[in-house]
Structure 1
C-alpha cells in the first residue's frame, strides 16, 4: 500500500515567508495585500479546499535593524500570527492551524493559557511549534543582552515543557460540574495547584482555562541540531525538518527513531514533515522558466542577510569564499550542519546562491505529475510523512495553483485524503 502524504501550508504573517522577494508580483494580479485579512482568508479557504492538514505559521521577534532586511522585506515586518489564527479559525470549519511561540519570551503560564483558549476557539484544531528563539536581536527587544547559550535554551525548554504539561493536566476530566440544581460549578478537589519550583521556573497554578478539546495542543518542533533532535524526540508529536537528499532524510528519520526509543516512545508516533517549495506548470520547461524568473530577482546581498540571520552569524565579518569549516552557528545550528555534511568544503557564498530558494535541478519543479512522483519517491525512499509547503510567489495564487493542479494528481493515487477524518489536528495527523 502506498504511503499516505500529509500536506501543510507554511507562512509568516509577513510580506514574504522564506522565498525572498516573493512579495514582488504584477500589480494587476494582486487581489489583496499581505496585511489585509482577505489575503489570509483566501489562503485558508484554499488550503481547506485542498484538504491540507493545517496552516502553519512561523514567527520571530526581531527585524528592522538591518538596512538590507528593511529594503527587501526579509521576514520583516512580521505581524502576530496568534491573533490572526483566532480570526481565520472562524472562516474555515476543518482546516487546522499551528502557531510558533517561544519558550524564551513567553512565560509558560501565559503560553498555556493562550493555546488552551485557541484550542477552544478552533474546537481542537490548534498546534504549537515549540521554539527557543535563535537571534540576539530578538533578545534585545526583551531587555536581554543576548540569548542563553544554544544548549542551555533547550535545557530551559525541557523544564518549561514540564510546567506546561502540569498546567494542562491541572484539571481532572470531570472537575467541571456545572451543576445548576446545587449551584456547584466545579469540584475543588479535582483542580490541582502545581506549586512548581524548578531551576528556571516557579509557577503556582492551577490553569485558569478549562480543559480544551485536545487538552494540550498538537506539539511541533523544527530544529535539527543534536540537542534540538534530543528535545524533539522527547516532546514532539511532529517534526518540521530539512535534509539534503534521500540519504540525509533517511539518516534523520533513523536518528529520531533511535532517540524516541530511548525515551520509551514509539517512533511511529512522531511524524516528520519536510520543508518543500514545489512549483508546477503545464510543462517542465515552463515550470523551470518560472522558477528562474523568481530566483533571478533575489539580490545576493538579501540571500546572505537572510542566511546570516538564521545562522546567527554576521557574514560581513566572514570570508564567504572560504570553506565554512567548524564555524559556530548560535542560531539554526542544525541547518548549517546539514550543508557541511553534504559538502565539507562548502562556502557561505555557495549556500547563499540557493538558500531557501532551491537549486537549478530542484526535482519539485515540473509538471504536476513530475512533482507528485517526486513527493512519493521522497517519502517512500527517504522516510517521513509529508511536506510543509511554503510559497514561491504571491501566496493566494501559489496555493490556488497547487490545489487546482498538484493536489488532484496526488489524490488520484490514493495517498492524500479526500475528506477530513476526525475532529482535531491530532486526529488529522494520526489517523
Structure 2
C-alpha cells in the first residue's frame, strides 16, 4: 500500500475496567519498543511511530532508547510525544499524575534534555580511524549539564548519532497548552476535526502559534484522524457499516471513551446531553462531537466511537471516498490522514490497499513508490533535512561543554 508508517498508540491504562478486559479494549498491550525491531527486520521502507510519555520515562533513558531504535530501523523511527492523561497510568508507577499544565511544563524541559543529548555529538565526532586506532574525537562529544526546575541531567548520550540524529517528532495535544507544545516541538501533529471549518480553524491556529515561536508553519505537518470504509457500491458500504456497528457492545465503546477522557462515564446518564461536560483527559476529542452538536448524548457518541461515523461521504465507493478525502485537504488544510481501523473489521486495511489507494494513486494524490530511506524522508521529502539534528525550539537554560 506504500503507507508512511505503523503507529503505536501505546499507553498503560488497559485492564483497569472489567469491560476493557472482557472486550479486549486496549488490553492486552505489548511493549512496542520490543515489537518494532522485529517488524523493521521484515520491512524496508515502512516507518514506526511509538507513543512514549514524558511523565513516566526518564529523559536520558528515552533519548537513548529512541536513538538505538533509530539505528535498528535504519532511520525509520518516530516518537509520538505525550504527557499522559490518566491517574490509572500514574498508579501503575506508584506516583500521582501532575496537573495538566504542569505536565506540559515538565514536557518542555524533557524535550530540552533530549535535544541536548541528541546534539551532544558533533557531526564529525565519529572518526573510526582504523590505522591509528582512534574511534572518536573527544573534543567533539560534549557533556550536557542540564539544570532545570524538573530535571537535572548530565551527558553526553552514549549512543552514536543515528541515521535521523533524532526521531521524527509527533504530537497530538488538542488543549490550548497542548497546541502551544506542538507548535514548539512537533514536526507532525495528529489532529481530529468534524468538517472543514474545524480543520481550517485548527490549521490557522497552529500556524499562528508556530510563527509566535519563530517557526515556519509549513515545517509542521498535520494528519487528520479518519476511518474511511469502502465497498463496490455505496449501499454495500453502508450495509457493512451497520454490520460493524451491530457487533460493537455499547459497554466496549464506553470503556474506550472512559479511558481516553480519563472519566468514568458509567456514572453519567448516557441519554443526557454532554455539551458542557469537562473531562480531565482528552477534552479535545470529546469536543469533536460536542462542538458539532451541543445536544449530543453519550449513547450517540458511543455509537460511532469504535465504528466510525455512519454519515457523510467517508463511507462509499473508492471513488466517492477518494473525492471526499481530497476535498477535505483542499478546503480544510492539512497534509494527510491517520487511518484508524475499526476494531471489528479485520480486513479493513486489505480493503483500503486493494480498492482505495489505487484510486488515489491514479489521481496523483498518493505515492506509487517509496523515495528516500528514513521516516523523515517519507514525510518531508527525500533530501529535506532542514530539521535534521536541529531543535525546533531552543532554550538557553542549559549548558553544553
TM beyond 0.5:
yes
| Residue 345 of structure 1: how far off its partner (Å) | 3.0
Matches within 5 A, 1:216-295: 216-295=166-245
* Structure 1 equivalent of residue 393 of structure 2: none
CA contact (8 A) 1:177 1:186 kept: yes
- Which has the larger displacement, 274-283 or 323-332? 323-332
Q: Deviations over 1:339-396 (max 9, x none)?
A: 3322233332332222242232142111111111111011111111111112225676
Alpha-carbon separation, structure 1, partners of 2:41 and 2:265: 43
Do the aligned partners of 1:243 and 1:338 also contact (CA within 8 Å) in 2? yes
Given candidates 386, 396, 404, the residue that maps to 2:354 is: 404
Q: Distance in 1 between matches of 2:49 and 2:342?
A: 20
Native 8 Å contact 1:279 1:392 kept in 2: no
**What aligned pairs does 1:106-125 form with structure 2 within 5 A after superposition?**
106-125=57-76
Q: For 1:150, which of 100, 104, 127 is the aligned residue?
A: 100
After TM superposition, the score normalised by the length of structure 1 is 0.86
In the alignment, the residues of structure 1 paired with residue 173 and residue 251 of structure 2 have an alpha-carbon distance, to the nearest angstrom, of 25
Q: 1:132 to 1:314 in 2, by over 3 A?
A: same
Q: Which residue of 2 aligns with 1:4?
A: none
1:93 equivalent in structure 2: 44
User: Is 2:31 the counterpart of 1:103?
Assistant: no
Corresponding residue number in structure 2 for 1:56: 7
| Structure-1 separation of matches of 2:267 and 2:346 | 38
Alignment length (residue pairs): 381
1:70 aligns with 2:27: no
Q: Which residue of 1 aligns with 2:120?
A: 170
Given the alignment, which residue of 129, 132, 144 partners 1:182?
132
> Greater shift after overlay, 86-95 or 332-341?
332-341
1:130 counterpart residue number: 81
Quick check: 2:274–2:298 contact (8 Å CA) kept in 1?
yes
Q: Kindly indicate whether the alpha-carbon contact (under 8 Å) linking 1:226 and 1:334 is maintained by their aligned counterparts in 2.
A: no
C-alpha distance after superposition, 1:93-119 (max 9, x if no partner)? 111111111111111111111111111
Q: How does 1:304-315 map to 2 (within 5 A)?
A: 304-315=254-265
TM-score (norm 2): 0.92
Question: Larger relative CO (CA 8 A, sep 6+): 1 or 2?
Answer: 1
Equivalent residue in structure 2 for 1:210, among 157, 160, 175: 160
For 1:26-37, what aligned pairs fall within 5 Å after superposition?
none
Are residues 395 and 112 of structure 1, via their aligned partners in 2, closer, same or farther at CA, if it must alter by over 3 Å? farther
Residue pair 1:149, 1:330 contacting (<8 A) in 2 also:
no
Between 204-213 and 331-340, the greater mean CA deviation after superposition: 331-340
Cα distance, 1:89 vs structure 2: 0.6
| 2:330 match | 380
Q: Is the 8 A contact 2:275 2:293 kept in 1?
A: no
SS class of match (2:52): strand
The equivalent residue for 2:379 is 429
